[in-house]
Amino acid sequence: MSALSSIVVGSHVWVEDPEVAWIDGNVLEVDGEEIKVNCTSGKTIIAKTSNVYPKDTEAPSGGVDDMTKLAYLHEPGVLDNFKCRYATNEIYTYTGSILIAVNPFKRLPDLYGKDVMEKYKGAVFGDLSPHPFAIADAAYRQMVNDGISQSILVSGESGAGKTESTKMLMQYLAYMGGRAAADGRSVEQKVLESNPVLEAFGNAKTVRNNNSSRFGKFVEIQFDKRGRISGAAIRTYLLERSRVCQVSDPERNYHCFYMLCNAPPEDVERYKLANPRKFHYLNQSNCYELDGLDESKEYLATRRAMDVVGISSDKQDAIFRVVAAVLHLGNIEFEKGNDPDSSEPKDDESRSHLKIVADLFMCDEKSLENSLCKRIMVTRDEKITKSLDAQAAAISRDALAKTVYSRLFDWLVDTINNSIGQDLDSNHLIGILDIYGFESFKTNRCLTVLNNFASI
């Protein structure tokens, strides 16, 4: 609320500006419900009293690390504090026990090394600069000292940096609770290596973010009585299935499709693939490459990550056969068949893709065609087969693609969980919830928020 009683001629205030959101200035006149402000930009603005906020002239020029220290916790004061800190690469700020992160859209490797983790180990919360490691350390200490399981919530709009923040939290907990494994692959290693696998199949480029998670994720890290990681489980939900078949320019489909199209030549040949521009599920957008990203290297890195989490080479082959089959499925077009309201593959090219899909799915080609071009309705007394027209067959094709991809993603998560192993007898756990990013609201002023609280 505007502090009306404190705003007089000469007061320093914030007023809304269409270009920079908020701009500061001095009050020239106060006339009832209107105030005239001489802004530092040189403009003179007449604003409603309800839209004017007092400015703290004693706030440090570099901002404060905890916004509970601000004289005014209103929107312009908060955003100005973020701006001041961001200008000096201070991308993290507290509000009490809440950590707010402003995505720098660049790598800051010096912020996340082992030496930094060692510095935050056991430090009193608030004594050091705001950091995800401080949040993770506070959760870990409370779990160990008080014997209470903890949860960390990561939320914010798409592109705010939730996925990276989640990985930093997991990295610190693995550092604190990790232990050597007899087989060379510890629980925490498998949990961390699950990230590139899930990102390959569940992340995509959106308008604001080149690596946006298109699903929600809850990571449950289990600990024994000595505070060592003893097991883990990953729960996922709300995978954006529609993206498989429909992509808006300049977004992209899921990363795995582009990786596979840029795989080594022997893999490209095995799955009968080609340039991404050749596939309907990819060429609805003109974006095929991402700056600074080598899809062929990402493909090999994903295969290595699958090795670490315990997915065998045979299962990896099956996974990518399904991915390739989905791409070929999208290239099957339909036309009117010989019978009324019936359909069939449009031409030789569509039939070629149909055969490839059948081979990759290891199913009968004619049965696959019938499943796309016909619908079977089961009544109490009989089964009725109804032919579908070309439009309905295309809808059936897309529904199959979405269902198969969604089932593949669920299977991947189950396989990773089985490989990691859960400790059903664990004493306590720390859960990290990376909720779905949003970007469809009329006004978006949200940032990544990491909130540490005891689970119920």
Residue 151 a catalytic site member: no
The residue from 283, 439, 444, 451 that is catalytic is 439
Q: What is the DSSP string of 123-173?
A: PPTTTS---HHHHHHHHHHHHHHH---EEEEEE-BTTSSHHHHHHHHHHHH
Q: Consult the annotation and say whether 42 binds a ligand.
A: no
Q: Is residue 156 part of an annotated ligand binding site?
A: yes
- Structure tokens belonging to residue 190: 């498998």
Structure tokens at 10: 């000469």
Residue 162 known to bind ligand: yes
Active-site annotation holds for 44: no
Q: At what angle do helices 187-202 and 295-308 cross, to 10 degrees?
A: 140
* Catalytic site includes residue 163: yes
**Candidate list 166, 203, 213, 262, residue with the active-site label:** 213
Which of 95, 166, 209, 302 is catalytic? The answer is: 209
Residue 158 among known ligand-binding residues? yes
Is 25 in the active site?
no
Does 160 count as an annotated binding residue?
yes
Pairing of strands 428-434, 150-155: parallel
In single-letter form, the type of residue at position 266 comes to E
User: In the annotation, is 159 catalytic?
Assistant: yes
Length of the chain: 456
Asked if residue 65 lies in contact with residue 82, where contact means CB atoms within 8 angstroms, the answer is no
Q: Which of 103, 158, 194, 253 is catalytic?
A: 158
Record the tokens describing residue 160, joined without a space: 């705010």
Asked whether residue 426 is marked as a ligand-binding residue, the answer is no
- Name the catalytic one among 212, 302, 343, 426: 212
Read off the tokens for 355.
């055969």
The verdict on whether 212 is a catalytic residue reads yes
DSSP letters, 14-33, are EEEETTTEEEEEEEEEEETT
- Does 177 appear as a known binding residue? no
Burial of residue 266 (CB within 10 Å: 0-12, 13-18, 19+) is exposed
Active-site choice (199, 437, 448, 452): 437
Is 161 within any annotated ligand binding site?
Answer: yes
The arrangement of strands across the sheet holding 92-95 comes to 92-95, 98-101, 448-454, 150-155, 428-434, 216-223, 229-237
Catalytic residue among 81, 93, 149, 163: 163
Query: How far, in Å, are 37, 54, 213, 422 from residue 24 at the CA level?
Result: 9, 9, 37, 55
d(CA 115, CA 206): 34
Instruction: Please report, in range form, the residues annotated as the binding site for ATP.
Output: 156-163
Instruction: Please report, in range form, the residues annotated as the binding site.
Output: 156-163
Annotated active-site positions, please? 158-159, 163, 209, 212-213, 437, 439
